[in-house]
Chains A and B, each alone.
Chain A
Amino acid sequence: MAQYIEQLPYEIGRPARTWRSRAGVLGAFVAVGLVAYILELTEGMGTTGLRNIGPMGGATWGLYITFVIYFVGTSFAGISVAALVRLFNIKALEPITRTAELLTVVTLMLAAMAIAADLGNPVRGILNLLIYARPQSPFFGTFTLVISGYLFASSVYLYLEMRRDAAICAGTPSKYQKLYRWLAAGYSDTPAERRRHRKAGLWLAVAIAPLLVTAHSTLGFVFGLQVGRPGWHSALQAPAFVILAGVSGVGLLAVMAWLFRNSLHERRLGDDVFGWLRNILGALLLIYLYFWVVDLVTALYQGDRAELTVTRAVLVGPYAWIYWASAACLIIPMLIIIVQKAKRSTAVAPLVVAGAMVQFAAIGKRFLIVVPSQTYGTLLPYGAGSYIPSWSEFAIAVGLIALGALMIGAYARVFPIIPLEDPRGSED
């Protein structure tokens, strides 16, 4: 083995009291979510605040679908950052690539679980989708490309990127040695092997990129192709989905990088990494705000009556607080980044605040896409509806987020979350 390390890095394998207490808290949230879901399975989906569109005056898609889109959206950034590093050779971002790839894999799993929570018949759902999936339905793409294909592809990418570090860690006696050896699958750090890995990684990144765009676009199509829901039928849906996905994903990465930097004291997660994340987040925010303005102007200039009803509900009606709070959570981060760039500041804390704020904007914006077009978007004169998520919907959503944090934290306790340094410098 080319490299020998005396003990496993990042406190892996050594007891950590702070992790245990944090895991305990996260586990409690997961448990509450699980209880809520079991309740939903046994009593039916009436435990949610969802109800039928039409005479019942409800919304049939709500918090769960909001989080499905949010999770899938966040997964976008993970693999994109990793692909960027590979395709454009951005060495400065290398320390964050594994965190990014792991984020993709974990959030896609959370999205799959959120979909399952939203199905009236989840087990039948999986079986029947495998047997009867119809290509004409936008859900075909969601099921096969987003949840299955993209998840598998990202897992393969993550795994192949792990082999070298697994081989290095396997060289040190530890309680995880057998696991590392199995993961390494015979990796030896020869030039030939490195070349093979670089080639495979490059082609994987190239293959995942179109899959990514297709997958996110089909998610946009779920909404954008429907004439029956005012506010949804728009060519902007698919591209806006992709961009907001990037915003929330990169923002979350900035937060995670900061968390890992503090807990692992890893100096390689330095100004370089945050500088790049700042630039990417800034650029994506700019593009998304452009989409937002275009959307708003189009809706206000000459919308048809049904679309204006939805727009009014969202801008000044019952959903206005979500709309303006989300706008603030995008504009303030944009301003933070602009000010930082103008002052050439490399301070990390403002970027992390920006990264956290855009998460709320992303969730809020997804909610605004899903719900108002149902409660205020009936083309027949049913009258306005209402939807307030029940405690069990919130419990499941929070439980899923806690599960994600738990999975990422547990991973970092067993495997180096920051790729180990190459003593030879850069790869050939």
Chain B
Amino acid sequence: MSTKTLTWLLIVGGFALQAISYFFFGAPIGKPTGVQFSQPRVPFVGAFFILGVGMVFTAALVYEIRGGREDRGD
């Protein structure tokens, strides 16, 4: 996989993971009328969201370091 592809995958995937975690994994947002508003729909929602943020910024590392190696041909 070229560095460019991997970079874009990380950025898009990272934002997607953030959005999905926030709106679908986490507890629903709204007037709390029952237990479901205080329970995540998928556990480790916090970890997933942070992973998403991490992915977006890891893209920069990949782009520079892996990309630099690609440019040099090693």
Contacts and interface: CB of A to CB of B under 8 A. Distances in A.
A134 B40 contact: yes
Interface string B25-61: 0110110000001111001111101100110111011
A144 B63 contact: no
Nearest to B71: A192
Contacts of B40: 131-134
B46 A131 contact: yes
A188 B60 CA distance: 17
Q: Is the interface of B mostly helix, strand, loop or mixed?
A: helix
A216 B2 CA distance: 36
B26 A200 contact: no
B65 interface: yes
Contacts of A129: 46
A148 B69 CA distance: 29
Top 6 A-B residue pairs of the complex, sorted by shortest distance between their CB atoms: A133-B46, A149-B53, A135-B26, A130-B46, A148-B50, A130-B47
A135 B64 contact: no
A70 interface: no
A143 interface: yes
A97 to B, nearest CB: 16
A185 B60 contact: no
Contact of B69 (A159, A186, A199, A200): A186
B13 interface: no
Contacts of A135: 22-23, 26-27, 29, 45
B43 A131 contact: yes
Contacts of B43: 131-132
Interface residues of A, number: 36
Interface of B: 22-23, 26-27, 29-30, 37-40, 43-47, 49-50, 53-54, 56-58, 60-61, 63-65, 67-69, 71-72, 74
Residue with the highest number of chain A CB atoms closer than 10 Å, among B22, B37, B57:
B57
A185 B65 contact: yes
A204 interface: yes
B57 A207 contact: yes
A144 B71 contact: no
A196 interface: yes
Contacts of B65: 185-186
A381 B9 CA distance: 57
Contacts of A197: 64
A341 B34 CA distance: 60
B71 A193 contact: yes
Interface in A175-214: 185-188, 190, 192-193, 196-197, 199-200, 203-204, 207, 211
Given A188-B68, A204-B60, A153 B22 contact: no
